[in-house]
Chain A
Amino acid sequence: KNEVEQSPQNLTAQEGEFITINCSYSVGISALHWLQQHPGGGIVSLFMLSSGKKKHGRLIATINIQEKHSSLHITASHPRDSAVYICAVRSDQKLVFGQGTRLTINP
């Protein structure tokens, strides 16, 4: 079993829909990252959080340390949000990555 599990693996939605991507982890962590990867592009950090909730524009990230679970939400989704979203946890000075969630937003 992977130390970081994301769900769903693939998600297709219509423009404007509210999107939720989930991340569960099984190790002790000092921080959790949400990253975005566009096709052919590098990885961009969206959030780093260790407790509670963070918001940036239409993106919201939450984490529940007790349940070892985090969610990434996108409000009013847009086709330009189409990308792979990766959850990564910092454990023992290493980043351990989930397999990613491929999000496609159709116009």
Chain B
Amino acid sequence: EAGVVQSPRYKIIEKKQPVAFWCNPISGHNTLYWYLQNLGQGPELLIRYENEEAVDDSQLPKDRFSAERLKGVDSTLKIQPAELGDSAVYLCASSLVTAAEQFFGPGTRLTVL
């Protein structure tokens, strides 16, 4: 069974440019998470989806970050415009339901120059 797929794995952009990350969760998993992980820190939740509904986006900086999960499967996370402080690893995870074990993707390492 395929795991959580993320692309790209690495992205380097200049500040003020837009960037988008894509996540394909494990088939059948209703809950999808986007996390941000700074160097030397644990992941921090940005947004949680149950099917296509964003049920927790309280930590998402909505002035520059947006996310969508059309049809309740794949999801994209967008930053526009990117700032230097956005350099981090962006992790996607999915679980069968919210209380179940989460499975993580390999992450996208973003570098903003």
Seen from chain A, the residues whose Cβ lies within 8 Å of a Cβ on chain B are 4, 30, 33, 35, 40-45, 48, 86, 88, 90, 93-95, 97-100
Contact = CB atoms under 8 A, between A and B. Distances in A.
A43 B98 contact: no
Contact of B106 (A41, A97, A98, A100): A41
A44 B103 CA distance: 7
A107 to B, nearest CB: 25
A88 B99 contact: no
Interface stretch (B35-43, B62-70, B72-80): B35-43
A94 B45 contact: yes
Interface string B80-105: 00000000000101000011011111
A18 to B, nearest CB: 25
Interface residues of B, number: 21
Nearest to B93: A43
Given A42-B91, A42-B105, A44-B104, A93 B43 contact: no
B102 A95 contact: yes
B53 interface: no
A35 B102 CA distance: 10
25 contacts: A35-B104, A40-B106, A41-B106, A42-B91, A43-B91, A44-B104, A45-B102, A48-B101, A86-B42, A86-B43, A88-B42, A90-B99, A93-B99, A94-B45, A94-B56, A95-B43, A95-B45, A97-B42, A97-B44, A98-B42, A99-B40, A99-B41, A100-B40, A100-B41, A100-B42
